[in-house]
Amino acid sequence: MSTLNEDQNMKRVLITGGAGFLGSHLCDRYIKEGYEVICMDNLITGDSDNIAHLVGNDRFSFVNYDVTNYIHVSGDLDLILHFASPASPIDYLEMPIQTLKVGSLGTHKALGLAKAKNARFLLASTSEVYGDPLTHPQKENYWGNVNPIGHRGVYDEAKRFAEAMTMAYHRYHGIETRIVRIFNTYGSRMRLHDGRALPTFMRQALTGNSITVYGDGSQTRSFIYVDDLVEGIWRLSQSEFVEPVNLGNPQEISILEFAKEIIDLTNSNSEIVFEELPKDDPQIRQPDISRAREVLGWEPKYDRKEGLSKTLDYFKKKVLAND
């Protein structure tokens, strides 16, 4: 594939973290929308299997690279989607410094590239910027309740810093920037052992092991199916809106009830066991998506039952492959 963008009508997008769960789905979407996609990932948490189906596509290329270093891309760029980062508790507890570096240095390098290429820049931020929220549901104008020196702080503060850096580049350098705050997302290409609730519950239920619920399970989350999230990100990337936008499904559920849903979905005989709640684990999590509705004309199409049913076959295959 040429790196010089010989078709001047074809837009080019760089997706950092493009071999990850969300990044790989974005690679698919932007190719579908007619973009030439450059996928950049150092495969620390990403997986080349997620993008294997794109190998050989003349509008797709993969670069194995750590974005905390200087980023060079030949030719023009129209858009950068910055999704590089560990994104699960297990990952950022095992790799705290790398998590901080990709949120700070990686964001700086990616923004520098956007400035050099005069490209639009979209930052993947997170509902974790709200920490353990004191308001409910969470609106974008809420500043959050984060413990900066706690174990989870390496991820929360990395994303908060990334947002500040993104807005600084927008205000000082005039870069076109977008910020998406992503709430709990699920779907195919999640890792079985990434520590998040859905893959953990699916793996435990499908193997007949006990399902681990932390605390008493009363803490809540709001789960969005990946196709809905990708649609929202696409719309945000094409919009003219600069302020952060929540993307999530307002269907809130307790973790205990969610575990029971997975047991019913998988027809599992697994029992639920309770373990100590991790420190700083958020007690509530629900997005206010009024801004996304108003600005993007977006809201989720899939309810949780439908999304989980669409995801089940993927996890069945993953569990069989790991036996």
Which positions are catalytic?
A: 155
69: pLDDT strictly greater than 60: yes
Count of structural domains, the chain: 2
**Do 113 and 62 share a domain, yes or no?**
yes
8: pLDDT strictly greater than 80: no
The larger pLDDT score, comparing residue 120 to residue 1, is at 120
**What is the pLDDT at residue 322?**
82
Question: Per-residue confidence at 323, pLDDT binned at 50, 70, 90?
Answer: low
> How do strand 12-16 and strand 79-82 relate by DSSP bridges?
parallel
**Do 170 and 141 share a domain, yes or no?**
yes
**Do 148 and 54 share a domain, yes or no?**
yes
Rounded to an integer, the average pLDDT of 264-282 is 94
Residue 239 covered by a domain: yes
Residue 181 covered by a domain: yes
**What is the pLDDT at residue 286?**
97
**pLDDT tens digits, one per residue of 157-184:** 999 999 999 999 999 999 999 999 999 9
317: pLDDT strictly greater than 70: yes
**What is the pLDDT at residue 119?**
98
**Do 239 and 307 share a domain, yes or no?**
no
4: pLDDT strictly greater than 60: no
**Do 168 and 205 share a domain, yes or no?**
no
Boundaries of domain holding 245: 12-186+225-249+292-296
A 10 A CB-CB count for 287 gives 27
Residue 60 covered by a domain: yes
Alpha carbon of residue 79 to chain centroid: 18
**What is the pLDDT at residue 9?**
72
* Strand, coil or helix: 29: helix
Give 209-268 as a DSSP string: PPEEEETTS--EEE-EEHHHHHHHHHHHHHS---S-EEE----EEEHHHHHHHHHHHHT-
Rounded to an integer, the average pLDDT of 11-29 is 98
**What is the pLDDT at residue 321?**
86
Residue 323 to residue 308: CA distance in whole angstroms: 22
Provide the CATH number for the domain around residue 16: 3.40.50.720
Residue 269 covered by a domain: yes
**Do 38 and 117 share a domain, yes or no?**
yes
Strand order in the sheet with 120-126: 60-64, 36-41, 12-16, 79-82, 120-126, 177-182, 245-247
Rounded to an integer, the average pLDDT of 28-39 is 98
267: pLDDT strictly greater than 50: yes
**Do 115 and 201 share a domain, yes or no?**
no
Provide the CATH number for the domain around residue 206: 3.90.25.10
Which residue type is seen at 119?
A
Residue 1 covered by a domain: no
- State the chain's mean pLDDT as an integer: 95
Question: Per-residue confidence at 89, pLDDT binned at 50, 70, 90?
Answer: confident
The larger pLDDT score, comparing residue 278 to residue 135, is at 135
